[in-house]
């Protein structure tokens, strides 16, 4: 989104290129419209009412199809100089790695998202490993039907292979968070999005990988990593609240 909050410049997952979204919506709705992206809105909600309350340097990560990112710094949504800050999911964490919808290879969201979890589970299921028997049974023997949500469900029910797959995603998550801590030095990371229903199965390995990869570890305070408190409604709550206090969006 541009800094003025009117135009969606580019979206890897939607067919919007320089889309004058606010103007279009205002014409249809005949109301003033505040445009904000879902990750910014969710971060705002967690800062105002959720897990990030009281934290002046907050980074929020939303794990779903991809990875959404946002920052609330000193009581404002920080959107960068051109309005496009927070695209953490596209930091390249594995040069030459999996192809990403953004056109690059090896983006973080290809390793630490719901989509990544589904892809790895499908690969495991196709390997004919006996480890994958619960996964295959859950989809009547059709590996292509496995999604991140199914893996999460099985992991919570105790399937060891699904737990391993989530642990792996958690490790990638922690590694990326360590990179972000080196650049941004927040006090707290709040982790939200659909994948968070895995709870500690995801966050514990992330905390360990974060501690193992943090620059200056042992000689500096480390940011906390907590699960979001507002669940799938965070974006809605944040958008509603931001429209009341829209001057707090830095633009």
Nearer to Zn ion, 88 or 210 (CB): 88
Taking a C-beta distance cutoff of 8 angstroms, is the pair 91, 176 a contact? yes
Only one of the segments 50-58, 75-83, 95-103, 183-191 lies at the binding site for Zn ion (rule: CB under 5 A); that segment is: 95-103
Q: Is 163 helix (H, G, I), strand (E, B) or coil?
A: helix
Residue list 37-76, contact with Zn ion (CB under 5 A) = none
Stretch that binds Zn ion, among 28-36, 54-62, 90-98, 239-247 (CB under 5 A): 90-98
Among 90, 122, 163, 207, binds Zn ion (CB under 5 A): 90
Residue 117 structure tokens: 């979890």
CB 224 within 8 A of CB 248: no
> Cα angle vertex 25, ends 38, 39, to 5°?
5
Shortest separation between residue 92's beta carbon and Zn ion, angstroms:
8
Contact pattern from residue 99 through residue 138 relative to Zn ion, giving x for each residue in contact according to CB under 5 A and a dash for the rest: -x-x-x--x-------------------------------
Please, what is the minimum distance in Å from the beta carbon of residue 107 to Zn ion? 3
Of 52 and 66, which CB lies nearer to Zn ion in the complex structure?
66
CA dist 184 → 45, 58, 71, 139, 167 (Å): 20, 10, 10, 42, 25
**What 3-state DSSP class applies to 113?**
coil
């Amino acid at each position: 989104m541009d800094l003025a909050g009117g135009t969606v410049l580019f979206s890897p997952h939607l067919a919007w290129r320089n889309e004058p979204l606010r103007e279009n919506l205002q014409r249809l709705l005949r109301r003033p419209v505040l445009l904000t992206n879902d990750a910014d809105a969710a971060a705002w909600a967690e800062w105002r009412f959720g897990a990030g309350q009281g934290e002046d340097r907050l980074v929020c990560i939303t794990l779903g199809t991809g990875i959404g990112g946002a920052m609330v710094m000193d009581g404002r949504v920080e959107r960068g100089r051109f309005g496009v800050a927070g695209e953490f999911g596209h930091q390249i964490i594995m040069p030459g790695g999996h192809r990403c919808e953004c056109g690059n290879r090896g983006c973080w969201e290809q390793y630490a998202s719901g989509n990544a979890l589904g892809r790895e589970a499908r690969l495991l299921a196709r390997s004919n490993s006996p480890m994958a028997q619960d996964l295959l049974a859950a989809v009547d023997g059709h590996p292509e039907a496995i999604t991140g949500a199914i893996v999460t469900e099985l992991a919570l029910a105790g399937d060891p292979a699904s737990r391993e797959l989530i642990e792996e995603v958690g490790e990638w998550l922690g590694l990326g968070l360590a990179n972000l801590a080196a650049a941004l030095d927040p006090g707290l990371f709040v982790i939200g999005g659909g994948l968070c229903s895995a709870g500690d199965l995801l966050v514990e390995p992330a905390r360990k990988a974060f501690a193992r990869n943090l620059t200056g570890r042992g000689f500096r305070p480390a940011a906390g990593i907590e699960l979001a408190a507002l669940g799938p409604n965070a974006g809605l709550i944040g958008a509603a609240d931001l429209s009341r206090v829209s001057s707090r969006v830095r633009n």
